Chains A and B, each alone.
Chain A
Amino acid sequence: MLLNRLVRGTVGKEDFVPSHIPVDYTACLAGNPNTGKSTVFNALTGLNQHTGNWPGKTVARARGLYRHQGKNVAVVDLPGTYSLLASSPEEEVARDFICFGRPDCTVVIVDATCLERNLNLVLQVLEITAKTVICLNLMDQAERRGFHIDVSKLSDELEVPIVPTVARNGRGLTSLKDRINEIASNAVSCRPKMLRYPTDLEAAIGELESCLSLLSAEGPSKRWAALRLLEGDASAIAAIKQYGMDSNAVQGV
């Protein structure tokens, strides 16, 4: 039974966007496993993508659509990952979409009951793209456990919009849609706080960034690409070659 589900989960992507409807923006949902990504997806789109608690449920990505303030927004539900350093097929799917799927907004769904664990992925996404909104989900469970989260302080620290939500009952979803539209339309643009690395590494990043002028502006940040090159991350470099830029530009570095 479980095996069947796992196998079925890996077959192709599910697309619920009718081809005759023009899409204004594309938003993707990233997040750790079990933070309610598929619940947020369903709440946003009114669809009924299977939710469930087993690894690899969303290896493929599901795509749905909603309309907000006159804009048609396509939503892509990415597989749950702790990281985007791509040591598994799920991480590769999520990384490749955020980097090269040209989302107008990346929503990181964060479990408010274990914020600390989730912030790793948040920082990794912010390194890729500034067009990010954080959705602080499962707020009801956090409140029940007596956690108080200073959302505005966290938002000031990270310098990205944060929306507290309870996707199960729809709390916060309207303001999530508002923030998505603001980021997607460039009405609001952020300069999120980046991790600073040791000075010698920062110098190397700077040098590499200046060689990466052929990197598509719609793709991942030059800083992210430079870091992957420095790391010798074969899977990321292959993806950059395939989707991100002229292949000579990578070989030349």
Chain B
Amino acid sequence: MGEGALSLARLAIGKQAVVLEVRGAGDIRKRLLDLGLVPGTIVEPIRRSPAGDPTAFDIRGTVIALRQRDGDTVLVQLISSE
């Protein structure tokens, strides 16, 4: 992983990042891609549920909740805040 690359599940609330790669396989991967998580997409965690999982993300203008284990399969690059 390069500098600033991390899994989507580890991204802090309110930090924007760019999707680098959707790992994982099968239906879950297809589902994530269908929801708009393709390389180059900007995502931002909006809030976490009280139990800490799932987390709601802003993905292309729609709020979508992802489980931690699914978020873990998405590799993102933090957009540096200047």
Which residues of A come within 8 Å of B, CB atoms? 82-83, 85, 87, 113-114, 116-117, 120
Which single member of B27, B60, B61, B62 contacts A87 (CB below 8 Å)? Answer: B27
In the complex, the answer to whether B60 meets A117 with C-beta atoms within 8 Å is: yes
Contact assessment for B61 and A82 in the assembled complex, using a CB-CB cutoff below 8 Å: no
Task: Report whether over half of chain A's contact residues are helix, strand or loop; otherwise say mixed.
Answer: helix
Distance in angstroms between the alpha carbons of A233 and B79 in the assembled complex: 36
Give the residues in chain A near B30, CB-CB below 8 Å: 83, 85, 87
Interface string of B28-40 (1 = CB under 8 A from A): 0011001110000
- B1-20 interface (Cβ within 8 A of A): none
A-B contact pairs, 26 of them (CB 8 A): A82-B34, A82-B35, A82-B36, A83-B30, A83-B31, A83-B34, A85-B30, A85-B34, A87-B27, A87-B30, A87-B31, A87-B34, A113-B61, A114-B60, A114-B61, A114-B62, A116-B36, A116-B60, A116-B61, A117-B36, A117-B59, A117-B60, A117-B61, A117-B62, A120-B34, A120-B36
Closest to A124 in B: B34
Please give me the residue from chain B that is nearest to A113 by CB atom.
B61
Cα A82 to Cα B34 with chains together (Å): 6
| Residues of chain A with a CB closer than 8 A to B35's CB | 82
**Cα(A170)–Cα(B61), bound, Å:** 25
Inter-chain residue pair count (beta carbon < 8 A): 26
> What separation, in Å, do the CA atoms of A87 and B27 have in the docked complex?
7
User: Knowing that A113-B61, A114-B61, A117-B60 are A-B contacts, what are 16 other residue pairs whose CB atoms are under 8 Å apart, sorted by A's residue number?
Assistant: A82-B35, A82-B36, A83-B31, A83-B34, A85-B34, A87-B27, A87-B30, A87-B31, A87-B34, A114-B60, A116-B36, A116-B60, A116-B61, A117-B36, A117-B59, A120-B34
Which residues on the A side are within 8 Å of B27 (C-beta)? 87
What are the 9 A-B residue pairs with the smallest beta carbon separation, nearest first? A114-B61, A83-B34, A117-B60, A82-B34, A117-B36, A87-B27, A87-B31, A116-B60, A114-B60
Contact with A along B65-77 (1 / 0, CB 8 A): 0000000000000
